[in-house]
Amino acid sequence: MTTLRFYAVAFARFRWQIALLSGVAALVVGPWVIAAQSVVLVDLIDAPSRIQNSQPHSMVSGVASLEGRTIAVGPRGLIMLSEDSGRSWRQVSTPVSTDLVTVKFSGPNVVWAVGHDAVALKSIDGGDTWKRLLDGRAVLRLLRESAKGSDQLEAEIERTMGQSATADVWPAPLLDIRFAADGRTGFAVGGFGLILHTTDGGENWQAWKGKADNEQRYHLYALTGEDDAIFVAGEQGLVMRFDAQSQRFKRVTTPYNGSFFGIEQLGKKLVAFGLRGNAFVSEDAGLKWRKIETEVDANLVAAVAFDDTVLLVSQQGEVRRVDFKTARTSAYDQASGGEVYGAAMTQSHRLALARSSGVGVMAFSPQSN
């Protein structure tokens, strides 16, 4: 499986299927099934995750932390939980075996994980147990329902479905999710410009096809913001702000035409970052932007608040401290252990890293900055 959110590639999906041949489980690739007397196919959406003996050294693609709990997600439905700021980890069961990309807290005990096959999982006990509330089958139904009466939208959906290896599953991942303080109003975004909206805590969703200044259907990678100022970032320098009056995401002008893989509202500062070390900051809700001279060539994968500063983290493990007065960065630390795909600061000043070699942790002193 492929496509972490910072690789701007088509979201081709190699679908695993479990073939139960005469009572013996075997994994087969793609749509091909070995002829057998009795074959039952179970989609990854329906196949619970399996315990991975190699964890916590299994690749993880996303990490989040809140109030003493840190959660990491990765391929094949992997979710790991730490209750000691990343010193030790345990894998928990999940209802899917599809690749998970991003994990987000929406409250002290409410956690969301999203990923391939447009899957969204929710936990209401801090990550111990998970329920699937959304998947690519449901998303396809939502999109087709929202497109009724529009020949253009219907044709667009069918063209996109031509890239799916499974006829009833939307072929793009969800890449980020965000909820308001009430825990009920939220958005999820993903490949091919997908935007979904809920007002009941994720029990029901609406497809927001045509409610964004993104006619090109650029991939949408990240969400951030306060309840009255929600931003989404994506390919080709795309940043949009939600306009509550028109119920639409409206484009914000940025000085960059490369991909933004992340966007974070850090106090009054809105930081967008992405391809080849490019990062920008706005202090007026996206009206004006300043380029941050990062001195980094690698992709930026995270912006993390740390005491009175912000740390930018690159795919190569570089940790850079931002000086917003000069709009420059300085070297702060260097992570080891493979490529980095995400980062989160834990309660005890430890930076948890989602890496190709598993979860990593860097201990910082609050006096060292």
pLDDT for the residue numbered 54: 63
Ranking 52-61, 225-234, 307-316 by mean pLDDT, the lowest is 52-61
Per the model's pLDDT, the better-predicted residue between 9 and 295 turns out to be 295
- The pTM of the full predicted model, rounded to 2 decimals, is 0.88
Reported as a single tens digit per residue, the pLDDT across 314-338 is 999 999 999 999 999 999 999 998 9
pLDDT for the residue numbered 212: 96
What is the CATH topology of the domain spanning 45-363? Methylamine Dehydrogenase; Chain H (2.130.10)
Reported as a single tens digit per residue, the pLDDT across 267-300 is 899 999 999 999 999 999 999 999 999 999 999 9
Q: Within 13 Å and on the Cβ side, how many CA atoms surround 67?
A: 11
* Domain ranges (residues) in the chain: 45-363
Reported as a single tens digit per residue, the pLDDT across 22-72 is 233 333 223 222 233 344 456 899 999 998 776 667 899 999 999 999 999
Reported as a single tens digit per residue, the pLDDT across 121-136 is 999 999 999 999 999 9
- Helix pair 151-161, 136-146: axis angle to 10 deg: 160
pLDDT for the residue numbered 41: 59
